[in-house]
A and B are shown apart, each in its own frame.
Chain A
Amino acid sequence: MSTMTINLKVWRQKNRNDSGHFEDYTVEDVNEHMSFLEMLDVLNEKLIKEHIDPIEFDYDCREGICGSCNLVINGVAHGPKHKTATCQLHMRNYKDGDTIVIEPPRSAAFPVIKDLVVDRSAFDRIIAAGGYISVKTGSAPEANLIPVPQDVSNTAFDYATCIGCGACVAACPNSSAALFTGAKLAHLNRLPQGKPERDKRTIAMVNQMEIEGFGDCSNHGECEAVCPVGISISAIAEMRRSYMKAVF
C-alpha cells in the first residue's frame, strides 16, 4: 500500500461578508484507499491539534446519495472522476506530490457560509414552486390502477435520481440551474400522475429559477459532464419544450 504527500490550496472564507483567500496545506501519509473527504478529515485533525480552525465543508451520507458534498476540485465540480460525487472520489486517483486546488461551488445564487460551505436553499425554493404532484395523504387510488409503461417509468427514474448537489450550477459558465430544474420536470411531467399539473408546474419552476438569480442555459453542456449521477442534458431540451407548450 503506497502513501503519498499531497499539497492543497484551499479556499478559506470566514463568513458571507469576508472576501476569502487561498491557504496552502500539506497532508502526509495519504493512503490510496482514503476517500477525498477522509483526506480532509485527516488534515482537520492535524489543524485542530495545531489550534488552527479546521476547514468547513458539507457532507453527510458519504455514499454519494445525499448530495451534501460539492467541492470544486482543480476547477472541476466533484473532481476528475466521471459520474462520481466528491465523497466517492478516492485518493488512488492522485499521485505523490500532486497539488490540488479546492474551492466551493461558486454562484451568486449559492452564497458562501464559511470556507467551502454554501447556501443552496434556492434549490428548495425551486422545488417548492412546483416540483411535486399534488396528492393529499390518503387520497391516492390503488397503486396498480394506472399502469406506467416500463420505459416511461425507467426514464422518469433516471431523471429522478438527481441528488441536488449543485455541481451543475458550479460548472455552468452562466451559473444556470437548468439541469436541476429540467431533471425534476422531466421526472414528473412524463408520468401519467404528473400530467394534470404539467403546465403550471413548468412555468412556476422556470420562473422561480430566474427569481433566484441563476443564469440561463446556453448549451455549454458542462452540467451534464460533471453531474455525479449522469443526468442527461436532454432534461433541459424537454424543459424548454414543456415551457413553450405551457406559455403559448
Chain B
Amino acid sequence: MKLDPKVPEGPLENKWSDHLRDIKLVAPNNKRKYNIIVVGTGLAGASAASSLAELGYNVQTFSIQDSARRAHSIAAQGGINAAKNYPNDGDSVWRLFYDTIKGGDYRAREANVYRLAQNSNLIIDQAVAQGVPFGRDYGGLLDNRSFGGAQVSRTFYSRGQTGQQLLLGAYQAMMKEVNSGKIQDYPRQEMLDLVVIDGKARGIITRDLVSGEIQKWNADAVVLCTGGYGNVFYLSTNAKNSNVTAAWRCHKRGAAFANPCFVQIHPTCIPVSGDYQSKLTLMSESLRNDGRVWVPRKKGDNRPPSEIPEDERYYYLEEKYPSFGNLVPRDVASRNAKMVTDQGLGVGPTGLAVYLDFRDAIKRDGKAVIEAKYGNLFAMYENITDDNPYETPMRIFPAVHYTMGGLWVDYNLMSNIPGLFVAGEANFSDHGANRLGASALMQGLSDGYFIIPYTIGNYLAGETLEPVSTSHEAFSEAAKTSSDQLDRLLAVKGDKTIIEFHRELGKIMWNKVGISRNREGLESAINEIRALREEFWENVRVPGEKNYYNKYLEFANRVADYFELAELMAMDALQREESCGCHLRDEYQTEEGEALRNDEEFSFVAVWEYLNVNGKLETRMHKEPLEFEFVELQQRSYK
C-alpha cells in the first residue's frame, strides 16, 4: 500500500499558501462538467457541498436523516476555537497550533494542524457573515470564553448551542444552492458501498430508506463526511443514527483506516441510570469554567453534598493540576474521574459519578450570571435527572464522545483511493490521540469550507477521468453485495434483538477498550468480539422486510459493521504499547499515573489495510511516521 502524506516542503507557516499557489485549477466553464457526491451533511458535508456548488460543480448530497439540518454536528454545545486574539490575551495561530498538537499528545501531523489554526479565523468571518448569532459583548463585538487545554480565551460560542447555529449556517448556505439547482439533495438515503473503477472512486450505492430501493450513483469524486464511530460502544453522546457504515464500507473497498483506537471519552456527561438507557447526554465542557469538580475524601460518605464540609471535599483536579485546575484536557479529566471512582470515592446511587459544583460560582457572580451562561444546560440537566443544579451539585461521569481515528487522508484530505476525499470527524487528520474542546467544529468547517474546495480541483484537473455510467459492472457488483447483506440479516430469524447484541458489544468495548486498556483485557476483548459476532450472524432477529421503511434493518446493518470495526480497534489498542492522549495502557504510565508516551517506537500513525483473502478478513498495519520539525516533543504536563 502506498501512503504518501503529500505534505508540502518549506516553512510551517508557508506550507498551505505555497500549496495553494502550486495546485492545479479547474476553469469556471469546466467545473460544471464535474459531478461530486457528498455523503453526510453535518458541518463538514454541508460546508463542502455549498462551497463546491458555489464554485460551479454539480453536487449531490446524501444524508440518513429526513433533513440535512439534523446531522449530529447540531448537538455540539460549547463553542468553536479561533486564533483571533480579540481578548488581547496573547493568542496567535502558532499558539492555537501548539495547544492542538500538544493536546493531541503529539500524534498528529504538524502541517495539517498548523493549517487548521490558520483557517480558524476565516471560519469565524464566514459564520458571522452568514448570520450565525455568536455571543457578543455590550459594545456589539464578539465575545470569547475559555475552554479545556488552553490558557487563553479563544472560544466563540452561541450560548450552549454553537453547533446548532454553525450547522444551520452551513445548511442554509447549502439549501441556497439546492434552490439554484447546483445541489441535488437526497435525504433519507444511506450509503452502503463505494464504487471503485480503475482504482478510483467513481460512485456510491445507497439504500432509499423510505422505499428500501438500492440505488446507484456515479460521480467524478466522492467526499465522505459521515462523522465518527463512537456508537460502537452502544452508549455514547452520539446521535442514535450516527454510524460507521459508509466509512467502513470504504475501508473494505481499500481505504485505509488510521488510529482506530483513539477514542475520546468526555469527562462531563450525565451518568447512566438504567439498562433501558439508549444514549448518554453531554454537559458542555464549558461548565468546567465555573464548576468545581470534587468527590468526598472519605470512602462511602453518603451525606448529601451540602452537608460535606469544605475540608472533607477532594477537589482532585485543582489539587493535582494547580495551573490548569478544572480546565485540564478531556482525557486527563476523564482518567481522573475513573481513578477516584475506582478508589470507591464516587457519588450517586451507582457510585459511578463525581460532583460538578456551581456553589462557589453562584456565590461569586450571582445566579443571574451563571444562568445567562449555562441556563439551557442547567435546564437540560434538571429535566433528565430531576435535580436542580443551582441548589445541588451536578453528578457527572465520562462517556464516549468523539473518535479521533478515521479514514486515512493525505494533506489534500484524499484517502489512498484516488477520488475519495474524507472530511470532518470521519477522517483521522488533526486531533492526534486527543481532541481539545471546541476543535471539532473548527476542523469540520476548515475541511469543508477552506480545504476540500481547493484540493478537489487539484485532483480533477490532474486526472483524466473516463466517463462511467451506473450500468458498469462495478456498480452492479456493489449493489448486489449491499442487497445480499440485507437478505442475510433478514434470513437469520434468531431469538436475540439487535439492541441486545449491540449493548453486549458496547459492554465489552467500554470495559476493555475504554478509558484504560491493557494487554490481557484487549486480547480477551478480541476473542469475545469474535464469538459475539458469530453469535450475531446465527441468532439475530431482524424484523420486517427490506422493501420499505425499516429502521431496525438499518441498525442491524450498522451493528454488523461495528462488530468488524470493534475488533480492529482492539487490535490497534493492543499494538500501541504506549499511552498517549486518550489511549491509556495500564502498563505504560508515569509514577503519578499520567500517560507515558514512547516517542522512539510509536511516533507514527497506525494505518490499517483491509484484505479480503479468499473471503476471510485479514488486516495489515502500515506506519506513517510522524516527524516533528517545528515543535519539540514534551511530556504533556498540566500541573
Interface positions of A (Cβ within 8 A of B):
14-15, 31, 33-35, 37-38, 41-42, 44-45, 47-49, 51-54, 56, 58-68, 81, 84, 88, 90, 92, 113-114, 117, 119-121, 123-124, 127-144, 146-150, 153-154, 156-157, 160-161, 163-164, 187-188, 191, 193-194
Q: A62-B240, A137-B453, A140-B126 are in contact. Are A42 and B276 (CB under 8 A)?
A: yes
Nearest residue, chain B, Cβ from A165: B70
A34 near B276 (CB under 8 angstroms)?
yes
Q: A204 to nearest B CB, angstroms?
A: 9
CA A147 to CA B549, docked complex, whole Å: 48
Q: Which among B86, B175, B450, B552 is the interface contact of A54 at CB below 8 angstroms?
A: B552
CB contacts (< 8 Å) of A121 on chain B: these are 66-67, 187
Q: A33-B273, A141-B129, A191-B131 are in contact. Are A61 and B74 (CB under 8 A)?
A: yes
B185 near A68 (CB under 8 angstroms)?
no
Q: Which of B365-388 contact A (CB under 8 A)?
A: 380, 383-384, 386
Nearest residue, chain B, Cβ from A184: B172
A144 near B86 (CB under 8 angstroms)?
yes
Q: B213 to nearest A CB, angstroms?
A: 14
Q: Which among B54, B176, B276 is the interface contact of A41 at CB below 8 angstroms?
A: B276
CA A153 to CA B132, docked complex, whole Å: 9
CA A149 to CA B139, docked complex, whole Å: 7
Q: Which among B125, B127, B136, B239 is the interface contact of A62 at CB below 8 angstroms?
A: B239
A15 near B140 (CB under 8 angstroms)?
no
Q: Which among B133, B137, B140, B450 is the interface contact of A137 at CB below 8 angstroms?
A: B450
Q: B173 to nearest A CB, angstroms?
A: 6
B179 near A119 (CB under 8 angstroms)?
no
CB contacts (< 8 Å) of A128 on chain B: these are 175-176, 178-179
The proximity string for B residues 240-251 relative to A, scoring 1 for CB distances below 8 Å and 0 otherwise, is 110000000000
Q: Which among A45, A47, A60, A130 is the interface contact of B65 at CB below 8 angstroms?
A: A60
B140 near A150 (CB under 8 angstroms)?
yes
Q: A41-B276, A60-B72, A153-B136 are in contact. Are A160 and B380 (CB under 8 A)?
A: no
Nearest residue, chain B, Cβ from A204: B179
B552 near A66 (CB under 8 angstroms)?
no
- B259 contacts partner chain A, Cβ-Cβ < 8 Å: no
Nearest residue, chain A, Cβ from B552: A54
CA A188 to CA B124, docked complex, whole Å: 17
22 contacts between A and B (CB under 8 A): A31-B276, A37-B278, A48-B552, A51-B543, A54-B551, A56-B549, A56-B551, A61-B72, A61-B239, A113-B210, A117-B549, A128-B178, A132-B130, A139-B129, A143-B127, A144-B84, A147-B140, A149-B136, A150-B138, A160-B131, A163-B164, A193-B130
CB contacts (< 8 Å) of B429 on chain A: these are none
B384 near A67 (CB under 8 angstroms)?
no
CA A48 to CA B129, docked complex, whole Å: 49
B142 near A54 (CB under 8 angstroms)?
no
Q: B378 to nearest A CB, angstroms?
A: 14
- B548 contacts partner chain A, Cβ-Cβ < 8 Å: yes
CB contacts (< 8 Å) of A147 on chain B: these are 136, 139-141
A193 near B129 (CB under 8 angstroms)?
yes
- Apart from A68-B66, A113-B549, A132-B176: 15 A-B pairs, beta carbons within 8 A: A54-B544, A63-B281, A66-B72, A68-B65, A90-B384, A132-B130, A133-B130, A137-B50, A137-B173, A143-B128, A146-B128, A148-B136, A153-B133, A157-B159, A157-B165
B129 near A45 (CB under 8 angstroms)?
no
Q: Which among A14, A31, A65, A117 is the interface contact of B274 at CB below 8 angstroms?
A: A31
B548 near A187 (CB under 8 angstroms)?
no
- B361 contacts partner chain A, Cβ-Cβ < 8 Å: no
CA A90 to CA B386, docked complex, whole Å: 10
B133 near A53 (CB under 8 angstroms)?
no
Which residue, A53, A63, A148, has most C-beta atoms of chain B within 10 A?
A: A63
CA A81 to CA B65, docked complex, whole Å: 25
Q: B516 to nearest A CB, angstroms?
A: 27
**Interface size on B (CB < 8 Å)?**
80
Q: B81 to nearest A CB, angstroms?
A: 14
CB contacts (< 8 Å) of A31 on chain B: these are 274, 276
CA A68 to CA B70, docked complex, whole Å: 7
CB contacts (< 8 Å) of A144 on chain B: these are 84, 86, 141-142
CB contacts (< 8 Å) of A136 on chain B: these are 54
A132 near B161 (CB under 8 angstroms)?
no
Nearest residue, chain B, Cβ from A160: B133
Q: A15 to nearest B CB, angstroms?
A: 7
Nearest residue, chain B, Cβ from A144: B141
CA A138 to CA B446, docked complex, whole Å: 11
- B75 contacts partner chain A, Cβ-Cβ < 8 Å: yes
Q: A30 to nearest B CB, angstroms?
A: 9
A164 near B130 (CB under 8 angstroms)?
no
Q: B317 to nearest A CB, angstroms?
A: 25
Q: B160 to nearest A CB, angstroms?
A: 10
A48 near B278 (CB under 8 angstroms)?
no
A48 near B497 (CB under 8 angstroms)?
yes
Nearest residue, chain A, Cβ from B82: A143
CA A5 to CA B124, docked complex, whole Å: 51
The proximity string for B residues 139-171 relative to A, scoring 1 for CB distances below 8 Å and 0 otherwise, is 111100000000000000011010011001001
B239 near A191 (CB under 8 angstroms)?
no
Q: B229 to nearest A CB, angstroms?
A: 16
Q: Which among B129, B380, B497, B499 is the interface contact of A140 at CB below 8 angstroms?
A: B129
Q: A33-B274, A53-B544, A124-B67 are in contact. Are A60 and B128 (CB under 8 A)?
A: no
Q: Which 9 A-B pairs have the closest CB atoms?
A: A147-B140, A140-B129, A132-B172, A157-B133, A140-B125, A128-B175, A137-B51, A128-B179, A143-B128
CB contacts (< 8 Å) of A161 on chain B: these are 161, 164
A127 near B126 (CB under 8 angstroms)?
no
Which residue, A44, A135, A191, has most C-beta atoms of chain B within 10 A?
A: A135
- B294 contacts partner chain A, Cβ-Cβ < 8 Å: no
CB contacts (< 8 Å) of A53 on chain B: these are 543-544
CB contacts (< 8 Å) of A67 on chain B: these are 69-70
A60 near B240 (CB under 8 angstroms)?
yes
CA A44 to CA B555, docked complex, whole Å: 13
- B334 contacts partner chain A, Cβ-Cβ < 8 Å: no
- B541 contacts partner chain A, Cβ-Cβ < 8 Å: yes
Q: A49-B497, A148-B140 are in contact. Are A160 and B72 (CB under 8 A)?
A: no
CB contacts (< 8 Å) of A113 on chain B: these are 210, 549
Nearest residue, chain B, Cβ from A147: B140
Q: Which of B476-511 contact A (CB under 8 A)?
A: 495, 497, 499-500
A48 near B171 (CB under 8 angstroms)?
no
- B19 contacts partner chain A, Cβ-Cβ < 8 Å: no
CA A48 to CA B171, docked complex, whole Å: 36
CA A72 to CA B103, docked complex, whole Å: 45
Q: Which of B538-567 contact A (CB under 8 A)?
A: 541, 543-544, 548-552
B541 near A49 (CB under 8 angstroms)?
yes
A60 near B241 (CB under 8 angstroms)?
yes
Q: Which among A63, A92, A131 is the interface contact of B175 at CB below 8 angstroms?
A: A131
Q: Which among B127, B172, B543 is the interface contact of A127 at CB below 8 angstroms?
A: B172
CA A92 to CA B382, docked complex, whole Å: 13
CA A134 to CA B172, docked complex, whole Å: 9
CB contacts (< 8 Å) of A35 on chain B: these are 278
CB contacts (< 8 Å) of B278 on chain A: these are 35, 37-38, 41, 62
CB contacts (< 8 Å) of B47 on chain A: these are 137
A92 near B67 (CB under 8 angstroms)?
no
Q: A231 to nearest B CB, angstroms?
A: 14
CB contacts (< 8 Å) of B636 on chain A: these are none
CA A191 to CA B168, docked complex, whole Å: 16
CA A54 to CA B139, docked complex, whole Å: 55
Q: A53 to nearest B CB, angstroms?
A: 5
CB contacts (< 8 Å) of B159 on chain A: these are 157
- B134 contacts partner chain A, Cβ-Cβ < 8 Å: yes
CB contacts (< 8 Å) of A130 on chain B: these are 179
- B459 contacts partner chain A, Cβ-Cβ < 8 Å: no
